Amino acid sequence: MGQEITELLERIDPAAFAAVVEAFGDPSRRWFFSGQGRSGLAAQMSAMRFMHLGRNVHFVGEVTGPSIRKGDGLLIISGSGETPVSLSYAKIAKAEGATVVTLTHKPKGSLSQIADVVLPVPVVETAQFGGSLFEQTSLLLLDAVVLEMARALPDAHATMSYRHTNLQ
């Protein structure tokens, strides 16, 4: 697994990665994260880290999630780029004037055509079941985005620790 992830990370387009980092550049922008199945779990974990940075983040479908509006952002993790509910969310976000960012292994898929920023995760072959390699790598890529953003904080670890849950 480790070798598969390493080889996949080596094929990530640095310019596409930088575009995702840039999309998250405005600390005042609200972000909504989404994905279905295991991609959704990776999106939830990533949303948590963005919250730890101090960003205003929601996971789509949570009962306390507000409506998406102009100026907001929607990040969708979708391996196929064709999941009907994810496509629906992207279309709603675009209609409202929000920015759509996606991680997908189908950069020519329907979701990529809607998105403003696409980070292709070029899974070719894997010994793992289903979309495991895509989901694992998506989580690592978004953790890397968090690390890039954390560089701008004077004491990122203290900030993130302070915001980490204490109700456990």
* pLDDT, position 124: 87
For the chain, the structural domain boundaries read 2-150
Q: List, by residue number, the catalytic residues.
A: 135
Assigned fold of 2-150: Rossmann fold (3.40.50)
Both tokens assigned to 19 = 């575009």
Of residues 21, 26, 31, the one with CA closest to residue 98:
31
pLDDT lower than 70: segments of the chain: none
* pLDDT, position 90: 98
Are 8 and 135 in contact by the 8 Å Cβ rule? The answer is: no
pLDDT > 90 in the chain, percent = 91
What is the reported pTM?
Answer: 0.95
Dump pLDDT digits (tens) for 130-139. 899 999 999 9
